[in-house]
Structure 1
Amino acid sequence: MKQSKLILPIIVISQFCCTSLWFAGNGVMNDLMINFNLSSSALGHLTSAVQFGFIFGTLIFAILTIADRFSPSKVFLTCALLGSLFNISVIWEGNSMASILSLRFITGFFLAGIYPVGMKIAADYYEKGLGKSLGFLVGALVVGTAFPHLAKEMTGTFPWKSVLILTSSLAALGGILMLIMVPDGPYREPGSKLKTSAFLGVFRNRKFRSAAFGYFGHMWELYAFWAFVPIILKTYSMEHPEAAFNIPVLSFMIIGIGGLACVLGGYLAQTMGTRRIAFIALLLSCVCCLASPLLFTAESESLFIGFLLFWGMVVIADSPLFSTLVAKNAAAEIKATALTIVNCIGFSITIISIQLLNVLQDSLNPKYIYPILAIGPIFGLIALIEKKKQHPTKPKLQ
């Protein structure tokens, strides 16, 4: 019984430690640009390299149903150790833009064995209250993603390489903790055979499709917003010279506060319904996208930061809820594969939105480019509304 109470905290801690690899390059972006003579477009390219790696990794993991056929904790450890190795390799002084892109790509590849596999492990333990459990888990992902920005500020008196060393060390620790403390869960149903058909077969379920499409719309906005938070802060500072922002700390706060939102969303979902809370969060983040040009006209720094903190909450609050809906509407023996497939497609979408903002910031005034992120939430809302309309006419499917 004591062990069961420790399971969720250990999964959360491990997820936080390992997902700190995700934005490790973003946390030291200025240093990378200076030390390796990178262009201003490096932000979008290096962020996209991780996403590409994650997409390729999730594609391989999904087709081979790796996390369903093998012990998820062992898969998690292996990917954590390999991801930390390639992350720390960025500190080599002989690196170039091409080699750094490759290293970030491979790091992203092994993150495919961390994030969705961590959700699979949680789903193997928590059949009831899964939304709350995934709220904590995705909250850990959010704080882990934001952590390199804080680590950069914390290690300001040390070489930039210390951020990469720290994040790699944390990832190795997280993987070891998962293996030692979290055995295979009681609800795990291992898949004994390779099922390549599972990659497309999961979408035959209408409720699964609705949750997945909602998630896809959410992903169009999420990582583009996270990647450009420092740019948003810098843009405002340039137009309001009196604003003395500590950009690394504020970036951590704006991204990291989403972890709290994930936990709160999980609790609210228990009383108000998972899909309803996901819909509300997606709607609010859509409003933030559309209202973003007005954000830069705010004379009050407190109003500006308050808006970004609110956006940082609603942009991610629906993520664990969509994952909950996906997990609940997938067959138990391919649950990990279903989560991985949805992650694969969702992160593919992030590449497009990140690169689109990367192009637009060079051709338009940066303060006018963020409403385009509303396209995703609008698409996701339509998917959820469509399901809601079908509910009363086909009660037997529920």
Structure 2
Amino acid sequence: MRHSKIILPVIVVAQFCCTSLWFAGNGVINDLVTNFDLEGSALGHLTSAVQFGFIIGTLVFAILTIADRFSPSKVFLVSALLASLFNLGVVWEGNSLISLLTLRFFTGFFLAGIYPVGMKIAADYYEKGLGKSLGFLVGALVIGTAFPHLLKEMTGDYPWKYVLVATSSLAVVGGLLMVVLVPNGPFRKQGQRAEPTAFFKVFQNREFRSVSFGYFGHMWELYTFWAFVPIILKKYSSEHPEVLFNVPVLSFLIIGIGGLACVLSGALAQRVGGKRLAFISLLLSGICCLISPLVFASEFESLFLGFLVFWGIVVIADSPLLSTLVAQNASAEMKGTALTIVNCLGFSISILSIQLITVLMTFTDSNVIYVLLAIGPILGLLALKGENKTKLVLN
């Protein structure tokens, strides 16, 4: 077996390469609107299409228990190749809104074989120190998600299609790295058959329910915040003509800094306790939701940007902690399926949030709409507090 020290870096790099597909459409949204004559609301719809595809994909993967029955690395490779193909389809000049939504849907569908499967692979290798490992892994997801914004800036003098070509190429590289360098892990227990009832079985565990519901509250806020960061920046800049923002670069920094937060939270959890740290992070991000209208109305540019950076940190810091707790409270032979199911429901919730904000923006340009993102953290905190007596510490 290959030396275990290279396994985590390979998984992290592969995850970064493949998850760059997630917001590839968001990185070039202005070009898509211009070239395909789309409405301004296209951002919310295209983002939701990826999320919806991911939901259906995770549902199919969970029902068929694909990540537990087949080699996770091979599942990762096939998913990466197909996701990259559909992502590349966006460059076709004959696209319409319907075809773009379809292409983004199938990109999301096959991301279901990348993100949760990557966590499953890590769990197969790192029974101890899983929280720290998933900190790196979710950090890679965050930076991969933010990367298209930076890529757009880097390729500013080139056609927008280069962003799609580059992200698809990265996904192919990521899939190949995983299948070549990461064999089945020592703690993997292969599932023997499809489990149609798995969707319900995993929630019979009380601790599993608690951390899963905490994760669901986190997901109500997370992707909506990420999706609307460019919109928030543009709106502030339009209201303050003296302010000149480089929106792609700032979007990358605000979202991408969450990657560092994941790494740090995963390491710190070994001392503080994963559930406690997740609770604190969720509380802070909920407070950001509640006070966001006041900060967004501030005349102080440094306060506005500093607040967004802070929000970008706390909005994601709990993600690897909650994912670790989900994995730790699932049976070994159902671990991949459990992670996939929780991802499926979490991303379903994120669609509702994204669409709610998208619809509200057609009626008002008030920043008060972002207060509604606090619904998720509040409910998530109640779920985590409900099992506060259970001592779950990341080893």
Normalising TM by the smaller chain, what interval?
over 0.9
For residues 111-190 of structure 1, the aligned pairs below 5 Å read 111-190=111-190
Match of 2:37 in 1: 37
1:2-45 per-position Cα deviation (integer Å, ceiling 9, x unaligned): 72000000000000000000000000000000000000010000
Shift of 1:302: 1.3
Partner of 2:88: 88
Tell me the SS of whatever aligns to 1:263. Answer: helix
- Offset from partner CA, 1:371-397 (integer Å, 9 cap, x none): 100000000000011101x549xx9xx
- Residue aligning to 1:16: 16
Cα distance in 1, alignment partners of residues 195 and 176 from structure 2: 29
CA offset at residue 197 of structure 1? 1.4
Which secondary structure state, in structure 2, belongs to the residue aligned with residue 317 of structure 1?
A: coil
Distance 2:318 2:296 in 1: 26
Return the letter of the residue paired with 2:282.
Answer: L
Contact 1:235–1:366 (Cα < 8 Å) also in 2: no
- Counterpart position of 2:305: 305
Match of 1:264 in 2: 264
Give the letter for the 1:364 counterpart: T
Pair 1:15–1:391, CA change in 2 (3 A): closer
Amino acid paired to 1:67 = A
CA distance in 1, matches of 2:117, 2:296: 39
Q: What residue is the counterpart of 2:236 in the other structure?
A: 236
Contact 1:230 1:251 survives alignment (8 Å): yes
2:206 counterpart of 1:223: no
Contact 1:20/1:145 (CA < 8 Å) preserved in 2? yes
Distance of 1:79 and 1:323 partners within structure 2: 21
The reply to whether residue 318 of structure 1 matches residue 318 of structure 2 is yes
Aligned equivalent of 2:246: 246
Q: Deviations over 1:156-206 (max 9, x none)?
A: 000000000000000000000000000000000000111111111000000
TM-score (norm 1): 0.97
State the match for 1:66 in structure 2.
66
- Residue matched to 1:354: 354
Distance in 1 between residues matched to 2:365 and 2:295, nearest whole Å: 14
Report the count of equivalent residues.
392
Q: 1:295 Cα deviation (Å)?
A: 1.3
Does 1:52 pair with 2:76? no
Query: Deviation digits for residues 251-281 of structure 1, max 9, x if unmatched?
Result: 0000000000000100110100000110000
Contact 1:122–1:134 under 8 Å retained in 2: yes
- 1:193-229 Cα deviation digits (max 9, x unpaired): 1111111100000000001000000000000000000
State the alpha-carbon separation in 1 of the partners of residues 366 and 93 from structure 2: 33
The AA in structure 1 aligned to 2:110 is: F
State the Cα distance separating 1:367 from its structure 2 match. Answer: 1.4
Letter in 2 for 1:288: C
Supply the distance in 1 between the matched residues of 2:238 and 2:264 (Cα, whole angstroms): 35
The amino acid that maps onto 2:182 is V
Residue 280 of structure 1 aligns with an amino acid whose one-letter code is: I
Q: How far apart are the structure 1 equivalents of 2:224 and 2:373?
A: 8
CA contact (8 A) 2:150 2:249 kept: yes
Aligned 8 A contact 1:46 1:101 in 2: yes
What amino acid is aligned across from residue 116 of structure 2 in structure 1? P
Q: Distance in 2 between matches of 1:391 and 1:328?
A: 13
Report sequence identity in percent: 72
Indicate if the aligned counterparts of 2:279 and 2:384 stay in contact, CA closer than 8 A. yes
Q: What secondary structure sits across from 1:373 in the alignment? A: helix
Tell me how far apart the structure 1 counterparts of residues 210 and 37 of structure 2 sit (CA, whole Å).
Answer: 45
CA contact (8 A) 1:360 1:366 kept: no
Calculate the aligned-residue CA RMSD, in Å.
1.1
Q: SS at 1:363's partner residue?
A: coil
Cα 1:40–1:125, aligned 2, differ >3 Å: closer, same or farther? same
Deviations 1:285-308 (A, max 9, x none): 000000100112222211111100
CA contact (8 A) 1:59 1:341 kept: yes
Distance 2:315 2:82 in 1: 30
Asked whether the equivalents of residues 207 and 390 of structure 2 are also in contact (C-alpha less than 8 Å), the reply is no
Q: How many angstroms apart in 1 are the aligned matches of 2:189 and 2:9?
A: 23
SS at match of 2:37: coil
| Residue 213 (structure 2) pairs with residue 206 (structure 1) | no
Question: 1:221-262 CA deviation, whole Å, 9 max, x = no partner?
Answer: 000000000011011112111110000000000000000000
State the Cα distance separating 1:323 from its structure 2 match: 0.4
Q: Which runs of 4+ in 1 moved over 2 A?
A: none
* Distance in 1, Cα, partners of 2:201 & 2:252: 39
Letter paired with 1:223: Y
Distance 2:364 2:37 in 1: 25
Runs of 5+ consecutive residues of structure 2 not aligned to the other structure? none
1:100-115 aligned within 5 A: 100-115=100-115
Mapped to 2, the partners of 1:73 and 1:233 lie a distance apart of: 39
Which shifted more, 170-179 or 301-310?
Answer: 301-310
1:97-154 CA distance string (max 9 Å, x none): 1000000000000000000000000000000010000000000000000000000000
> For 1:329 and 1:2, how far apart are their aligned partners in 2?
28
Q: Which amino acid aligns with 1:296?
A: F
Per the alignment, in what secondary structure is the counterpart of residue 362 of structure 2? helix
Retained in 1: the 8 A contact 2:17–2:173?
yes
Which consecutive residues of structure 1, in runs of 5 or more, have no partner in the other structure? none
d(CA) in 1 for partners of 2:156, 2:114: 29
Match of 2:293 in 1: 293
Q: What SS class does the counterpart of residue 226 from structure 1 fall into?
A: helix
